[in-house]
Amino acid sequence: MPQGDYIELHRKRHGYRHDHFERKRKKEAREVHKRSQIAQKALGIKGKMFAKKRYAEKALMKKTLAMHEESSTRRKVDDDVHDGAIPAYLLDRDETTRAKVLSNTIKQKRKEKAGKWEVPLPKVRPVAEDEMFRVIRSGKRKTKQWKRMITKATFVGPSFTRKPPKYERFIRPSGLRFTKAHVTHPELKCTFNLEIIGVKKNPNGPMYTSLGVMTKGTIIEVNVSELGLVTPAGKVVWGKYAQVTNNPENDGCINAVLLV
Amino acid sequence: MVQYNFKKITVVPTGKDFIDIILSRTQRRTPTQVHKGYAISRLRQFYMRKVKFTQQNFHDKLSTIIEEFPRLDDIHPFYGDLLHVLYNKDHYKLALGQINTARNLIGKIAKDYVKLLKYGDSLYRCKSLKVAALGRMCTVIKRVSPSLAYLEQIRQHMARLPSIDPNTRTILICGYPNVGKSSFINKITRADVDVQPYAFTTKSLFVGHTDYKYLRYQVIDTPGILDRPFEDRNIIEMCSITALAHLRAAVLFFLDISGSCGYSIAQQAALFHSIKSLFMNKPLIIVCNKTDLQPLEGISEDDKKLVMEMKAEAMKTVIGQGGEATDDDSVLLTMSTLTEDGVIAVKNAACERLLNQRVELKMKSKKLNDCLNRFHVAMPKPRDQKDRPPCIPQAVLEAKAKKAEETAEKEKRKLERDLENENGGAGVYSASLKKHYILADDEWKEDVMPEILDGHNVYDFIDPDILMRLEELEREEGALQGLEADDDFEMDGAELTPEEQAALAEIRKKKSLLIQQHRIKKSTAESRPTVPRKFDKDKQFTAERMGRQLSSLGLDPSMAIDRARSRSRGRKRERSPDRGGNDGLDSMEVDGDQQNKKLRVRSRSASRSRSKSRPPGEVVPGEGLKDTAQKKKAIKMAKRSSKKRNKDARRGEADRVIPTLKPKHLFSGKRSTGKTDRQKFPLLWIHIQQPVASHVWGSCIRYAVQLQQPAIVENLFVC
């Protein structure tokens, strides 16, 4: 029975076939043609996947080739232009920059007064009510249509208890309730799975905020104690705001970006 | 019996391949088409099925991996330890554990997303959920792919481990590197272990099988062990230590007394004493190898003392097993694997000791007592003191004796080969092949034989009765020729009557005419149209003509005409106009005259210019062409241009008649491919072959309208 490194042993004892190396060389040379044939003939999903792989390979090849072709010759060096440097004939025109700065500060002040803050997604697509709610028929003859089921992801707090079913108007199905969000830190570029504390603001309206509906663009508050952030005063930060960046009902998870 | 053959583990695919396999499986094995307009429950079901199917496949494949890899705690401790030494138990368990968690995670993902899919209210939403689910499952596998790669490597290595049965009779060979363990196993078993002069040639355990007293023994070759503290040992040495520790086997400790392995006897003795704890309860034999280089008696006094010490230790094991306390030589043995001196003795001694030990143990065990009282070996009591040896018939004895003689003779007989060797070897001596010829006179043996003599092949005449045979052959051939001659039948003209002669002449004339006609037909076949009989110009094959010919012969044609007419009468009765003119002359000559108009024309012209009689095929230069070749080419071109037209039965260039504008077979019936579309609208297709100017299109449309072909007009714009 073949045991141990029997292949190497056989090679050591009997060597290779007399045409082994030639065949190997030829086979490798033929691989190029075969690959191109496959690339041309593959259809459908297989073809697409192959094309994608091949494109990536080609890009890499081109990069390495360019790198090899780089020669260490002397090239002309462009001196960096200092920030704010202007040619001689414009030396006496510097009022515009100041004006720009001024208008920026004015804009900021206005924004603060209006209560708008800088968020990663300033504008989101408005969600219509019939998209948000689904009408539930109730009653003995199923004619009453005052109940609504929410079709988007929601958050209910841990102390949430339903109203008696006869009186609840908005149904938040338990399958669509989420407690955790995948929060990305914009500077660290890493993602954490953090617990949601609450829904702060839903851009579609205060009703949705009170219901706890999370759509794209909603500001939520997450528990960041595992990040270990500390205020300058020395207190531990355990809650921070984050903005939802995906459509949770389509992806089955909440992706958010932390507002630092 | 637990499997000790790890070759049956399925291949573990890499992470990427795993994902590809499962996803393409999902794509192939689940329904693929779904449309926006389907009922929402159908959409949901479609996507849920995909998610569940993928999860199921992942689950199955991961489960096979987890189940097929052996659990180190469930197998024999020898294998458990061996695998630990080779692959590190913790790493191995971790890898399998990761696969297990991956499986559970995928199950959870599938469950969650199926729950979410129930709330999907549009195709897009369900599809995104399915994409998210499959994506997450694949991410789990991607994260686990280093474990998969590790497990694949382990599997490949495990498949090449020797399949050792830890419970059967085993002989273990150990010692320093290069002492001759592998050569020994090569000698007594069929295992082909590599033997090289450098140390640590054998890097893992090898197993071979040998027989003794109708029982099969496993012989295990181990890598060499160096004398080191236990913690410093590397993986290769640990393999042999594991084997020594866990297998109940007879141990052969090899000693190289010549020192050619590079280690002195003192070092080897030191090793022996450091691992002697592993030899407990095992029949131990000390084997001194390489005695061809250095016999045991010739070693120095110190070495001898060391060897005797080792022997004493080994004897202790014998005593410990309750064996005889004799100075049996089955504890210290000498051999040489090179000269094969003493190898079998060592093997027998080891097998014997092991067998005895095992039998003893079995006898002592409790289980045996249950079986023992069921056994009874019956020994027949001797009836009397008469000696009854086996009966060998006389003939057999004689045959045996003769055979013995023959072999002796064969050995004494001088072979050709010996002769060759004596006279200088293979290249120098050439054997005389004529030595054993059987001839009438022995002096003819060395004669030179000619091959050709007087222009004849000598071998043809070697047969003594060859002349007789030749005569016989000739006679036969003559007889055959005579037979052939009889078959020829010669017609004599004088035997026929004048009527018969006239008839014969008629028949011959008609035959030659037919042949001529046929030849003309063949030569003009290229540019002659194949016209159905309906449109036959010459009207040769009408029923009336047949009637006339029959009546000229003197027969009543009416019945024949009726029969012909009844068969040819189709839906449309053709009223063939009676082309008269030739009623009187309906003999056979007229046919030829009518047919060969062209020939007649040519013959007339030929008869006019009789002075210049030229063969019909000859072409002379003239009419503006410089030489024969060019004229021939011109004629050919002219013919070629008219050939196609003639084949289509067109009268000339301008003949564009379409006999039936709407043939029934093209406009009726259902056909899925467009085979008949092309043929239905001839005008349309003619114009489409060549690019045409717009005014031509206009005229075409007008023409189509003229013909009242609205279908054509419609199709003109469609195409």
Residue with tokens 């072959």: B689
Residue B677, judged by CB atoms within 10 A of its CB (0-12, 13-18, 19+), counts as: middle
Coil, strand or helix: which one is A38?
Answer: helix
pLDDT (mean) for A95-102:
55
Do A4 and B128 lie within an 8 Å CB cutoff?
no
The per-residue pLDDT for B53 is: 96
- Quote the CA–CA distance of B307 and B296 in Å, as a whole number: 10
Instruction: Test B128 with A151 for CB contact under 8 angstroms.
Output: no
Average pLDDT in the B376-397 region? 86
Closest CA to B50 of B76, B80, B24, B73: B24
β-strand pairing of A191-201 with B170-175: unpaired
Q: What integer pLDDT is reported at residue B170 of this predicted model?
A: 93
Task: Supply the pTM of this predicted model.
Answer: 0.62
The answer to whether the Cβ–Cβ distance between B118 and A175 falls below 8 Å is yes
N residues, chain B: 719
Q: Does A48 touch chain B (CB under 8 A)?
A: no
B325 contact partners, CB below 8 Å, separation of at least 6 = B315, B318, B319
Q: State both tokens at A113.
A: 């007064």
Place of tokens 């199905």: A173
Higher model confidence: residue B601 or residue B485?
A: B485
Q: Note the helical H segments in B160-234.
A: 181-188
State residue B581's pLDDT score. Answer: 43
B622 φ, ψ (degrees, to nearest 5): 145, 180
Q: What is the pLDDT of residue B4?
A: 67
What pLDDT is recorded for position A98?
54
Q: Please name the member of A2, A5, A252 whose beta carbon is closest to the beta carbon of B113.
A: A252
pLDDT higher than 80, residue B554: yes
Test mutation, A250, A253, A254, chain B, max B CBs within 10 A:
A250
The interface predicted TM-score of the complex, written ipTM, equals 0.82
**Cα B184 to Cα B336: distance, rounded to the nearest angstrom:** 9
Rounded Cα gap, residues A260 and B15, in angstroms: 37
In degrees, rounded to 5, the angle at the alpha carbon of residue A165 between the alpha carbons of residues A163 and A170 is 70
Query: Span B233-258, mean pLDDT?
Result: 90
- Residue B517 CA to residue A86 CA, distance in Å, equals 108
Q: Residue B146 corresponds to which tokens in the numbers above?
A: 């280093």
B625 pLDDT above the threshold of 60: yes
Structure tokens at B320: 């410990």
Which chain A residue has its CA at the smallest distance from B162's CA?
Answer: A3
pLDDT, mean of residues B480-508:
79
B682-689 vs B694-706: helix crossing angle, rounded to 10: 170
The 8 Å CB, 24+ separation contacts for B22-31 are: B22/B54, B22/B57, B22/B58, B22/B61, B23/B54, B23/B134, B23/B138, B25/B57, B26/B50, B26/B53, B26/B54, B26/B57, B26/B134, B27/A45, B29/B53
Could you tell me the pLDDT band of residue B412, with boundaries at 50, 70 and 90? confident
Instruction: Give me the residue from A1, A5, A45 closest to B163, CB to CB.
Output: A1
Q: Are B337 and B183 in contact (CB under 8 A)?
A: yes
Nearest Cα to Cα of residue A152 among A75, A214, A236: A214
CA distance B477 to B492: 29
Give residue B585's pLDDT band: very low, low, confident or very high (50, 70, 90). Answer: very low
pLDDT confidence of residue B584: 43
CB-closest option in A2, A134, A175 to B116 = A175
Residues 6+ apart with CB under 8 A from B331: B284, B285, B286, B311, B314, B315, B318
Query: What is the chain A residue with the closest CA to B157?
Result: A4
- 8 A C-beta contact, residue B357 and residue B285: no
pLDDT, one tens digit per residue, over A208-251 is 999 999 999 999 999 999 988 888 888 898 999 999 999 999 99
Structure confidence at residue A222 (pLDDT): 95
Q: What is the pLDDT of residue A165?
A: 87
Retrieve residue A243's tokens.
């903005």
Residue B397 has pLDDT above 70, yes or no: yes
Mean pLDDT of B106-134: 94
List of chain B residues whose C-beta atoms are within 8 Å of the C-beta of residue A4: 160, 162, 203-204, 206
pLDDT score at B587: 44
d(CA B302, CA B284): 22
Residue-level length of chain A: 260
Q: Which residues does residue A153 pair with via DSSP β-bridges, in sequence order?
A: A214
Cα angle at A47 between A45 and A51, to 5 degrees? 120
Nearest CA to B449 among B433, B470, B431, B464? B433
**Could you read off the pLDDT of A15-72 as tens digits, one per residue?**
999 999 999 999 999 999 999 999 988 888 888 889 999 999 999 999 999 988 887 6
All residues at 6 or more sequence positions from B705 whose CB lies less than 8 Å from its CB, including other chains: B713
Between strands A255-258 and A180-184, the pairing is parallel
**A251 vs B112: CB contact, 8 Å cut-off?**
no
Q: Do B206 and A3 make contact, defined as CB atoms within 8 angstroms? A: yes
